[in-house]
Amino acid sequence: MKLHATRRQFLIGSSILAASSAIPALAQDKPKLRFSAVFSEQDIRAEMMKKFADAIAGDFTFEGYYGGNLFKQGTELVALQRGNLEMGNIAPQDISNQIPAWSILTAGYLFRDAAHLKAFFASEAGAEMKKMTEDQLGVKVLGPTYFGVRQVGLRVDKEIKTPADMAGIKLRMPGGDAWQFLGRALGANPTPMAYAEVYTGLQTGAIDGQDNPLPNVENMKFYEVMKQIVLTSHLVGFDLLTVSKKTWDGMDADRQARFQAAADAAIDFSTEKHLARETELAERFKAAGLKIYEPDVEAFRSHVQQQYLASDLAASWPAGMVDKINAL
């Protein structure tokens, strides 16, 4: 039996082949965005990134990696710089390791609250700091991702009223000079430990405590192996939602505007949810039997600020930046 293809059939077949061949080409028009963060998929910030991903789905294919599964805590920035990652949730302490001037943004008792933090990054002073990361690191800061005010959580019964009471306390802090300095400024013996290891560290007594915002304490279930939470409120916790400059510069102006708008909306969503969660969790932890109390916060603030101002870190701070931040 012979098969005879008509011209019409040939043209239809050619059209189908052309259409199917175009599908990979269309997919290639949407660049891949690999995002890495240390927080878990149960974290509010994972919800934030889902909203962001949905908003930019027409322009990019988003791949989110959580819990430090792609890059360990503290290594995301270098991955961005090497082109192994397009986006990251970067701690300001990691930026300060490469740009000493950024250590000012890691200082205890610098920002008053989430609104003050947002106002700073929207100001000219904030733009000055963000430009440093673009020029020196090749990384663009999209905005600060607030995740709560950091409090001290302990597995021991010792009552903490002033920094002097923190003497001898093995307080887990992330690795890096800026984090370790903050731990010492609080009066503790800072102990570097990976975030994923903190629960076991508290459980076994390898550490006496940790410092994290209450939503993090809930997400990682640290409250199960703690006896008390000391409301030192020593640091407005935030990271930076970032994108590599190479990726950013590869977008046209319209795509950049959509990208930034998506980031702004997602960050605002996350901030509001964190603020509501902090209030709720303080009461929930009390009901669960944890001792929760406020120490002499002014004693902590005074001691911590004195430690920073007398340190080598302050020598690298941009002139007048503290006054600019306080004036907002």
Tokens linked to 97: 């390791």
Domain limits at 310? 29-316
Q: Are 77 and 239 in contact (CB under 8 A)?
A: no
Q: Write down the mean pLDDT value for the chain.
A: 91
More confident residue, 22 or 189: 189
User: Is there a domain that residue 142 lies in?
Assistant: yes
Residue with tokens 């998506």: 262
pLDDT digits (tens, 9 = 90+) for 84-103: 999 999 999 999 999 999 99
The answer on pLDDT for 21 being more than 70 is no
Residue 323 forms part of a structural domain: no
Q: Give the whole-number percent of the chain exceeding pLDDT 90.
A: 84
Is 70 contained in some domain?
Answer: yes
Instruction: State how far the Cα of 204 lies from the Cα of 207, in Å rounded to an integer.
Output: 8
Tell how far CA 32 is from the center of its chain. 21
Q: For the ranges 7-16, 118-127, 170-179, 273-282, which has the lowest average pLDDT? A: 7-16
What is the distance between the alpha carbons of residues 309 and 302, in angstroms, rounded to a whole number?
A: 11
278: nearest Cα among 221, 182, 212: 212
User: DSSP letter at 66?
Assistant: -
Name the strand (E) or helix (H) holding 311. Answer: none
Question: pLDDT-derived band of residue 72, with 50, 70 and 90 as boundaries?
Answer: confident
- For the record, the structure tokens of 326 come out as 């306080």
What would the mean pLDDT of 145-174 be, rounded to a whole number? 97
DSSP, collapsed to helix, strand or coil, labels residue 55 as helix
Instruction: Give the chain's domain count.
Output: 1
Q: What is the arithmetic mean of pLDDT over 252-278?
A: 97
Residue 146 counted as domain residue: yes
Q: If DSSP codes are grouped into helix, strand and coil, which group holds residue 203?
A: helix
- CATH number of the domain to which 156 belongs: 3.40.190.170
Is residue 71 left, alpha or beta, with left meaning phi > 0 and alpha meaning psi from -120 to 50?
A: beta
Q: Is residue 14 part of a domain?
A: no
**pTM for this predicted structure:** 0.81
Q: What's the burial of 315, exposed, middle or buried (CB within 10 Å: 0-12/13-18/19+)? A: exposed
Name 87's bridge partners. Answer: 35, 243
Residue 92 placed within a domain: yes
Residue 6 within any structural domain of the chain: no
CA–CA distance, 243 with 128 (Å, rounded to integer)? 17
Question: Using alpha carbons only, how large is the chain's radius of gyration in Å?
Answer: 24
What is the pLDDT, as a whole number, of residue 134? Answer: 98
pLDDT in tens, 291-301: 999 999 999 99
**How confident is the model at residue 287, as a pLDDT?**
93
Summarize pLDDT for 125-141 with one digit per residue, the tens: 999 999 999 999 999 99
pLDDT at 28: 55
Examine residue 326 and state whether it is found in any structural domain, yes or no. Answer: no
Residue 15 predicted with pLDDT over 80:
no
Q: State the residue for tokens 């916060």.
A: 297
The dihedral sign for the CA sequence 64, 68, 72, 74: positive
Angle between helices 114-121 and 124-137 (to 10 degrees): 70
The answer, yes or no, to whether residue 11 has pLDDT greater than 60, is no
DSSP assignment of 219-274: HTTGGGG-SEEEEEEEEEEEEEEEEEHHHHHTS-HHHHHHHHHHHHHHHHHHHHHH
Distances (CA, A) of 140 to 84, 100, 117, 190: 16, 17, 18, 31
